[in-house]
Amino acid sequence: MEYRLFFIGAAMGLFAWRSRVWEKEGGPRTPLASALWHALFGFLAAFSAVMIIAMSFDGRSRYVSVAAFVLALNEVLPALAAGLVAGAVCFWRAWSKDGVAARRHRLHEDLEWSDTVFSAALMASLLMMFVVQAFKIPSGSMESTLMVGDHLFVNKFVYGLRVPFVSRRVLPLRPIARGDVLVFQFPVEDLRETHCGSVQYGKDFIKRVIGLPGETVEVRQGRVLIDGRLLADEPYAQHKDPYRQPESVHATEVPPRRYQELWQGHRLDKELQDIQRDYFGPVKVPERSYFLMGDNRDQSCDSRYWGPVEERFIKGKAWLLYWPPSRMKIVR
């Protein structure tokens, strides 16, 4: 969302800059130029408004373009339609009410509105990039720590300020620790890759850190072992299904090195197709990567299925649950 707001602000900023230059030159010299410029403003305003409304809804839809981290098809099409309609209305309005004074007045009005949108969108995008972002819990994988529909704020600076469009962080306050609840972009880059029954590219997930870089993680009878030792202190873990699956014969036949390669390459669930929640690994967590699991262990699509979460995909730490008010708390 933050990148989409940034580009909305940038588009309005360019419009405002060109309008300011044009205003100093005396404004549009012809009725056609004035009408087209006002139509462009109407298009940008309507397109931005519909995009912002779309972004306020659940963003876990399928992404289908190379710029999927910026725009989704089901957001772009309504926004384009609204922009074209608004642009046509603005063109007709400017064309039907022409005159030098009217042209200059429209240009000045468009300049003021575009300046306002530019400032608001830029500030909001910077806030969301570097400080805090709102997030809505989409599934039951973190129950009962976090419930479906809970709204929370994500702290985006605690692990360091992320340099936009690159995978580097600077000035971290503390490192990622076991037990932290993270919000992250699903760790795949293939637009068509499916995991847990659907395409996950570009979606935001929330899970808890279980395994740290360099550690060996495995699951036996639903219980987590780190470097061969039982991870006993897990008060957050929930096992709602009393049935424990038997270990898969297919999984035990895969050589350990091949198993590690498949898991680390996010292909384990594709190759084996019978990944089991109660028996997994062992695997070694790569450097700058983490093993994440949902608190609702029996109903969580997590690192047991689709592999490690590389540091570059991590957005921040879940911080404050603010809605509903009856469940307001610091997320731990």
Which residues are identified as catalytic?
Answer: 141, 207
Distance CA 187, CA 196 (A): 13
Task: Please give the single-letter amino acid code of residue 254.
Answer: V
Query: What angle, 0 to 180 degrees and rounded to 10, lies between the N-to-C axes of helices 31-55 and 100-130?
Result: 30
What phi and psi values does residue 72 have, to the nearest 5 degrees?
-115, 145
Distances 295 to 43, 121, 214, 303 between C-alpha atoms, Å: 45, 35, 22, 12
Distance CA 67, CA 190 (A): 12
Residue 105: count of CB within 10 angstroms of its CB: 13
Are the C-beta atoms of 306 and 187 separated by less than 8 Å? yes
Please list, in sequence order, all residues whose beta carbon lies within 8 angstroms of the beta carbon of residue 104, skipping any fewer than 6 positions away: 23, 26, 27
What six digits make up the tokens of 161?
């300020």
Can you tell me whether residue 114 is helix, strand or coil? helix
CA torsion 159→161→165→166, rounded to 10°? -60
Distance CA 13, CA 117 (A): 8
Are the C-beta atoms of 279 and 247 separated by less than 8 Å? yes
Residue 90: count of CB within 10 angstroms of its CB: 23
Query: Residue for token digits 């008010």?
Result: 325
What phi and psi values does residue 194 have, to the nearest 5 degrees?
-110, 140
